[in-house]
């Protein structure tokens, strides 16, 4: 484990993890032609940027950041067993903590609300290493949504299983959990990005509400 003041050393284990993820994640990010690996490497970069700060960053944490979606998106429990065999128990523990489902069949995943509420409940009791990686993951996602909203507006919400209100609820709920447990630049930046996204898209929500009121028939309930 990296101790306070000790430099983070990266070995060929990280190289193997990147290659492992590359072979699995051949998809692109929602609504784009951006390779999904950009997200995984971006989250890992955010985690590495916290080295030497409040949460000691280890190579296992960086590897878990690279692999954080492998179980959720590519095989569930059997994938987790393979991650444990390939990269060790500590990496597997973190990847499990970062997953909102262990369903092996993608079509058998629990519903969106059930998965998100369950993840929030689980996250409250996870150690700081998992919390830091999770915050980095959510920051990368929030920045991507904000950037896309600035480019295409409300159309961005159509890329997700749920719309603006549910997405913002989830981000706000995550921030509340993070802030209870730790304080760092990633959490602060996540709060700022989500607040900007909420503010920027507020006029859209107001217009939608107004259209519903104007279009309502006298006997509508």
Residue 63 is part of a domain; what is its CATH number? 1.10.3210.10
> Token digits for 142?
């929030």
In a domain, 173, yes or no: yes
In a domain, 219, yes or no: no
Name residues of the chain where pLDDT drops below 70: 1-6, 205-221
> Token digits for 123?
């996250």
Query: What's the pLDDT at 210?
Result: 46
In a domain, 7, yes or no: no
Query: What's the pLDDT at 221?
Result: 39
In a domain, 123, yes or no: yes
Q: Are 60 and 91 in contact (CB under 8 A)?
A: yes
In a domain, 77, yes or no: yes
Query: What's the pLDDT at 218?
Result: 46
pTM: 0.89
> CA torsion, points 127, 160, 38, 182, in degrees to nearest 10?
-20
In a domain, 217, yes or no: no
Measured CA to CA in angstroms, residue 157 lies from 9, 142, 172 at distances of: 39, 12, 17
Query: What's the pLDDT at 106?
Result: 76
The rounded Cα 202 to chain-centroid distance in angstroms is 23
The count of domains in the chain is 1
Query: What's the pLDDT at 208?
Result: 53
Query: What's the pLDDT at 203?
Result: 75
Range of the domain at 188: 13-102+110-204
Q: Which residues, other chains included, contact 89 with Cβ-Cβ below 8 Å and sequence gap of 6+?
A: none
In a domain, 175, yes or no: yes
Query: What's the pLDDT at 107?
Result: 77
In a domain, 3, yes or no: no
């Amino acid at each position: 484990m990296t101790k306070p003041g000790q430099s983070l050393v990266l070995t060929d284990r990280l190289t193997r993890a990147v290659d492992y993820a590359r072979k699995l994640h051949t998809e692109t990010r929602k609504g784009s032609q951006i390779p999904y690996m950009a997200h995984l490497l971006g989250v890992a970069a955010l985690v590495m940027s916290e080295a030497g700060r409040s949460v000691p960053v280890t190579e296992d944490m960086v590897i878990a950041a690279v692999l954080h979606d492998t179980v959720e998106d590519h095989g569930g429990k059997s994938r987790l067993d393979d991650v444990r065999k390939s990269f060790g128990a500590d990496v597997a523990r973190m990847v499990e903590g970062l997953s909102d489902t262990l369903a092996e069949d993608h079509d058998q995943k629990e519903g969106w609300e059930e998965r998100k509420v369950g993840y929030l409940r689980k996250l409250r009791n996870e150690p700081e290493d998992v919390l830091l990686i999770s915050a980095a993951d959510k920051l990368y996602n929030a920045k991507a949504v904000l950037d896309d909203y600035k480019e295409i507006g409300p159309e961005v919400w159509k890329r997700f299983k749920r719309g603006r209100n549910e997405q913002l609820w989830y981000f706000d709920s995550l921030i509340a959990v993070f802030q209870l447990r730790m304080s760092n630049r990633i959490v602060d930046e996540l709060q700022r990005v989500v607040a900007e996204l909420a503010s920027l898209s507020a006029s859209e929500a107001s217009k939608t509400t107004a259209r519903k009121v104007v279009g309502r028939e006298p006997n509508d309930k």
